[in-house]
A = this chain, B = another copy of it.
């Protein structure tokens, strides 16, 4: 019955813990995968967004990022220092700054998208259910996230924790 399920949610690994675990592990994996490119996941997100958008102001970029709230001024500064992004004055607005990728930035963004795609495939492989399941969407989500992290460090932490209740 539904009551039993709802009740068990109180002691099962919670959604938010699973979300945290999944984020930590995917962050680690992506961080590792991007290391050869010399950029961090957050920098990769900026490159990806800039590669598929018309020149954006800092503010507009910030509105399209998940990795950071507010205006990603320092995040962009790093990429400018590395030579992948160019800041130019925005025509018609003396306050704003237009961000564009340099030539090398475009090439790096392409490589970054490849790496991101590979990581996505890796995550999907971890998360994919071996067989069709029948349960509520939330149960399926919990199980999927659990499959994703269960044999990674964060998942092992949850197992140890469950070991003693």
Contact = CB atoms under 8 A, between A and B. Distances in A.
Interface stretch (A73-81, A85-93, A97-105, A112-120): A112-120
Taking the full assembly, how many copies of this chain does it contain? 2
Contacts of A54: 164
Interface string A128-162: 11001100111011011100000001101110110
A67 B93 CA distance: 42
Interface residues of A, number: 55
Contact of A16 (B119, B140, B141, B156): B119
Contacts of A30: 16
Nearest to A49: B161
User: What is the predominant secondary structure among interface residues of chain A facing chain B?
Assistant: helix
B137 A129 contact: yes
A22 interface: yes
Given A129-B138, A136-B129, A161 B19 contact: no
A82 interface: no
A157 B65 contact: yes
Contact of A124 (B23, B24, B129, B138): B138
A24 to B, nearest CB: 6
A162 to B, nearest CB: 9
Q: Would you list the 4 A-B pairs with minimal beta carbon distance, nearest first?
A: A23-B23, A129-B137, A141-B144, A64-B161
